[in-house]
Amino acid sequence: MFNNVKLSLFLASRSMMKGNKSTQLLIIIIMSLIFVNLVFIGSIFLGVTEATNNQVINSLYSNVVIEPKTDEKYINDVYSLEQKIKGVPGVVGISSQYVTGATLSYKDKHGTWTVRSINPDNEMKVTTNYKYLIAGKYLSRLDENEILLGKEIAGGYGGDIEYNSLGVKVGDNIDVLFNNGIKKSYRVKGIFDANFIQTNTMAYISQKEMESVVGLENKASQILIKTRDNGNEDRYIKQFLEMGIKEEIKPWTVYAGMVKNITNSFNMISIMISAIGLFVAVITIFIIVYTSTVSKRRQIGILRAVGIEESIIIQSYIFQAIFIVISGILIGLIIIFFALKPWFIEHPLKFPIGLASLMILPERVSMNAISLIIAALAAGFIPSWLAVRKTIIDAIWGE
């Protein structure tokens, strides 16, 4: 067995060494590009999905959201609930919010957007929007009559839906008509760009201000909870439930329906493109090996005549195919990790859902490499197997 492998490797290596070097290099480059394509498509889609997920967590909902019980409009006794939650190990921030719809208007322009009220000190532990101010300042806990606008509401900062924007700058006064009919004038204190269209279409006022508007205290529409780690939301939710919290407790993922749809679509596109890539790889290798077996038909016959087993000859072609593919994979890895990845870190792609870079998962890379190697096995085996099916006489002396 070992001797057969050794002999196959010997035949394969001699064939490769004496073959046309530029053709081999070209084929290896084709394989590397196929591999890069396999990894790249999956990684960019994964990067977009990951960026979106991060945006949902970092700028909108954090990790876990507590909502009012099914038949209630608000969460009651928020202060004591916050104290309970704070006691759970791993909870690093809590932000209770009132959320309401409101019509914002400036001069002759107006639109309806979501207004969230926050305690800025708490909010900064839960979301990262405070880091993305593009004008003015962030809210303070005691701010009254001041409002923070997403860039899509403010306008003038290259938003995706500017036609709907108010066209205001920091310091301008806008009118806000709340759902309960109260109308107030607010000075624009800051404008932020969270790189996420859903966040950029929201406005923030201080909790104190909102309480004066809605006339409520110690209540909230939702409580956002930031945990130390992402991905373990279910474990935290279980702990909250065990503590006797009766409100609705949801992980951020339930708010990421759009992301789920995107992920599913991306997965499907990724699978289709990967399948096409693998098919191209199989056809390329098949043609290479087939051409080689046709041109070396007589040599194959001679090898068999002198007593070299068919399996050794087949193996030698499979080794050649695997060599091509593995070389392609190695070059592809260099391109991916030393060119594409650094480039995308420097130049992330801008989507309405956020900035996306490549997300290269080692297991995905391994899977793509293995798929390509399996494709090479099949594409190397079939033509060489067909070649040794001929009789020795036909192989050596046939037409």
Partner 1 sequence: MTGDEKLIEIKNLSRIYSMGEVKVKALNNVTLDIKRGEFAAIMGMSGSGKSTLLHQLGLLDTPTSGEIIFRGKNILGLSESRKARFRLEKFGYVFQEYALLPELTALENVYLPAMALGRKKEDYIKAGTQVLEQVGLGTRLYHRPREMSGGEQQRVAIARALINKPDILFADEPTANLDSSSSKQIIGLFQKLNKEMQLTIQMVTHEPDDMKYVSRVVWLNDGELSIEKYEKLII
Using CB under 8 A as the binding rule, whether residue 291 contacts partner 1 is answered as no
Distance of closest approach, residue 396 Cβ to partner 1, in angstroms: 7
Phi, psi of 198 (to 5 degrees): -65, -35
Distance of closest approach, residue 383 Cβ to partner 1, in angstroms: 19
Using CB under 8 A as the binding rule, whether residue 305 contacts partner 1 is answered as yes
What kind and span of H or E run contains 27? helix 21-55
d(CA 209, CA 203): 13
- The piece of 27-35, 154-162, 178-186, 391-399 that touches partner 1 (CB under 8 A) is 391-399
Among 105, 212, 299, 371, binds partner 1 (CB under 8 A): 299
The token duo for 43 is 């990684």
Among 26, 271, 339, 393, binds partner 1 (CB under 8 A): 393
Using CB under 8 A as the binding rule, whether residue 3 contacts partner 1 is answered as yes
Contacts of 61 (CB under 8 A, 6+ apart): 224, 252, 255
- The piece of 29-37, 139-147, 224-232, 294-302 that touches partner 1 (CB under 8 A) is 294-302
Using CB under 8 A as the binding rule, whether residue 386 contacts partner 1 is answered as no
d(CA 379, CA 282): 5
Residue the block writes with tokens 């050596």: 396
Using CB under 8 A as the binding rule, whether residue 89 contacts partner 1 is answered as no
What are the residues facing 349 on neighbouring strands? 356
Using CB under 8 A as the binding rule, whether residue 362 contacts partner 1 is answered as no
Task: Tell me the CA distances in angstroms from 32 to 38, 153, 318, 357, 381, one per residue in order.
Answer: 10, 46, 18, 21, 21
- The piece of 5-13, 229-237, 252-260, 372-380 that touches partner 1 (CB under 8 A) is 5-13
Burial 226-264 (b: 16+ CB within 10 A, else e): bbeeeeebeebbebbeeeebebebbbbbeebeebeebbe
SS (H, E, C) 332-386: HHHHHHHHHHHHHHHCCEEECCEEECCCCCHHHHHHHHHHHHHHHHHHHHHHHHH
Using CB under 8 A as the binding rule, whether residue 18 contacts partner 1 is answered as yes
Contacts of 24 (CB under 8 A, 6+ apart): 16, 324
Helix 310-335 vs helix 362-389: angle between axes, to the nearest 10 degrees?
150
Using CB under 8 A as the binding rule, whether residue 390 contacts partner 1 is answered as no
Using CB under 8 A as the binding rule, whether residue 303 contacts partner 1 is answered as yes
Using CB under 8 A as the binding rule, whether residue 24 contacts partner 1 is answered as no
- The piece of 6-14, 118-126, 283-291, 318-326 that touches partner 1 (CB under 8 A) is 6-14
The token duo for 226 is 């930031």
Nearer CB in complex with partner 1: 88/302: 302
- The piece of 57-65, 137-145, 242-250, 300-308 that touches partner 1 (CB under 8 A) is 300-308
Nearer CB in complex with partner 1: 71/399: 399
Among 10, 279, 338, 343, binds partner 1 (CB under 8 A): 10
Q: Where would I find the beta strands (DSSP E) of 107-166?
A: 109-118, 133-136, 146-150
CB 231 within 8 A of CB 50: no
Nearer CB in complex with partner 1: 66/395: 395
Distance of closest approach, residue 357 Cβ to partner 1, in angstroms: 46
Distance of closest approach, residue 12 Cβ to partner 1, in angstroms: 11
- The piece of 26-34, 133-141, 149-157, 298-306 that touches partner 1 (CB under 8 A) is 298-306
Helix ranges restricted to H, the chain:
2-18, 21-55, 78-86, 120-123, 151-154, 197-200, 207-214, 233-242, 257-295, 297-305, 310-335, 341-346, 362-389, 392-397
Using CB under 8 A as the binding rule, whether residue 396 contacts partner 1 is answered as yes
Residue 294 CB neighbour total at 10 angstroms: 12
Distance of closest approach, residue 289 Cβ to partner 1, in angstroms: 16
What are the residues facing 206 on neighbouring strands? 118
Nearer CB in complex with partner 1: 23/264: 23
Using CB under 8 A as the binding rule, whether residue 324 contacts partner 1 is answered as no
Using CB under 8 A as the binding rule, whether residue 398 contacts partner 1 is answered as no
- The piece of 166-174, 188-196, 271-279, 386-394 that touches partner 1 (CB under 8 A) is 386-394
The token duo for 12 is 């394969």
Question: Applying CB under 8 A, what is the total number of residues that bind partner 1?
Answer: 25
Q: Which residues bind partner 1 (CB under 8 A)?
A: 3, 6-7, 10, 14-15, 17-18, 298-299, 302-312, 391-393, 396
